[in-house]
Chains A and B, each alone.
Chain A
Amino acid sequence: MTAAVMTDLPRVRNDSFEHVVGERQVRILRTAYRLIGNWADAEDVAQEVFVRLYRHGLGFPNEAALTGWLYRVTVNLCLDHRRASRTAHELPELPSLAASAEAAAIRDQQKQQLMAALLRLPQKERAALVLREIEGLSTVEVAEILGSSEGTVRSQVSKAVGRLREIMNGEEL
């Protein structure tokens, strides 16, 4: 889905601002939530992203440029937000898997556990992992959004998955 959006299709001229917001707010809000960890702050970040888009205007050469711009602003705002409220954030406790016996509930619990583990990762690694593995962007696109090289992104994603495994299995030092 995202790969199709990120192709160099020419911009649709009659795209209104409201249309762009409606089309992309789910992805932006979800990305902000994965990077920050709570919906209230993610909403604020998503709002700010779209207000900045309004100020910037829709004069992007193609869809890929618009999508890349939105992700870049989202990641930067989330990093700033986390940096500003670093002292207020405690490391999240991992929820216990023994709370529910059903399979779906276990899966949900695993996701919650993974989300909590995600928030323990260093910011850059977390951003690379969320964009690459959850949002499904290519390594090139992630590198462009984060302003780093493809090799760095690959390394960050690999390290992040390794850390998540350690956290999930209780191997964390």
Chain B
Amino acid sequence: MNEDEIRNLLHEMNDDPVPADALRRVRLGVAARTRSRTWMNRSRTWMKMWSAAAIAAAACATVLLLWLREPVPISQSATPVAVLKPTPPPLVTAPLPIPPTRRNRTSTRAAVQPAIEKTRPAESNLVIRIETSDPDVLILLIGD
């Protein structure tokens, strides 16, 4: 037998019948395996969906519980660790005008220039004290 005869024989083998039983068994086997796989895939999908739903429900419940919970008061310690006392600012005193020896119109006008004294009390309110030439008159400006 030469190589051409072998090639012809090989080509003829392409037309050889395949047993019908073998074909049927393949078809049935494939159908059974793919059907069971389809069922498994479906059940797996359902499992995934239910798991996701359960996780989402648990998360919602947790958020709701946290939201509805009463706030706990923050306990303050009876003795503070450190107390800062505000230091009063230094008293600013404007130079007092020299009292005039004679009372006249011009000197009175010059004496009208008030002596301004700014003081900031401990309550942190700004108080401006204005001293006039009259010792009985004192103007106090209290800021907010």
User: Residues of A with Cβ closer than 8 Å to B?
Assistant: 17-18, 21-22, 25-26, 29-30, 33-34, 39, 42-43, 46-47, 50-51, 54-55, 107, 110-111, 114-115, 129, 133-136, 161-162, 164-165, 168-169
- Asked if A21 meets B18 with Cβ closer than 8 Å, knowing A161-B7, A162-B3, the reply is no
Interface residues of B in 10-32 (CB under 8 A from A): 10-14, 16, 18-19, 22-23, 25-27, 29-31
Count B-side interface residues using an 8 Å CB cutoff.
25
Please report the C-alpha to C-alpha distance between residue A157 and residue B30 in the assembled complex, in whole angstroms: 33
Contact in complex: B34, A133 (CB < 8 Å): no
Closest chain-A Cβ to B29's Cβ sits at a distance in Å of 4
User: Residues of B with Cβ closer than 8 Å to A?
Assistant: 1-3, 6-7, 9-14, 16, 18-19, 22-23, 25-27, 29-31, 33-34, 37
Contact in complex: A168, B6 (CB < 8 Å): yes
- Asked if A114 meets B34 with Cβ closer than 8 Å, knowing A22-B27, A47-B29, A136-B14, the reply is no
Contact in complex: B29, A114 (CB < 8 Å): no
Since A25-B23, A114-B9, A161-B7 are in contact, a sample of 6 more A-B pairs with Cβ atoms closer than 8 Å, ordered by chain A residue number, is: A30-B16, A54-B30, A129-B10, A133-B7, A133-B10, A134-B13
- Asked if A47 meets B33 with Cβ closer than 8 Å, knowing A25-B26, A161-B7, the reply is yes
Closest chain-B Cβ to A109's Cβ sits at a distance in Å of 11
Closest chain-B Cβ to A22's Cβ sits at a distance in Å of 7
Closest chain-B Cβ to A15's Cβ sits at a distance in Å of 15
Q: Which of B6, B19, B26, B30 contacts A161 (CB 8 A)?
A: B6
Please report the C-alpha to C-alpha distance between residue A168 and residue B16 in the assembled complex, in whole angstroms: 20
* Chain A contacts for B9, CB-based, 8 A: 110-111, 114
Contact in complex: B22, A114 (CB < 8 Å): no
Q: Which of B11, B23, B29, B33 contacts A26 (CB 8 A)?
A: B23
Contact in complex: A114, B13 (CB < 8 Å): yes
29 contacts between A and B (CB under 8 A): A18-B31, A26-B23, A29-B18, A29-B26, A39-B19, A39-B22, A42-B22, A43-B25, A50-B26, A51-B33, A51-B34, A51-B37, A54-B30, A55-B37, A110-B1, A110-B9, A111-B9, A111-B13, A111-B16, A114-B6, A114-B9, A134-B11, A134-B14, A135-B14, A136-B14, A161-B3, A164-B6, A165-B3, A168-B6
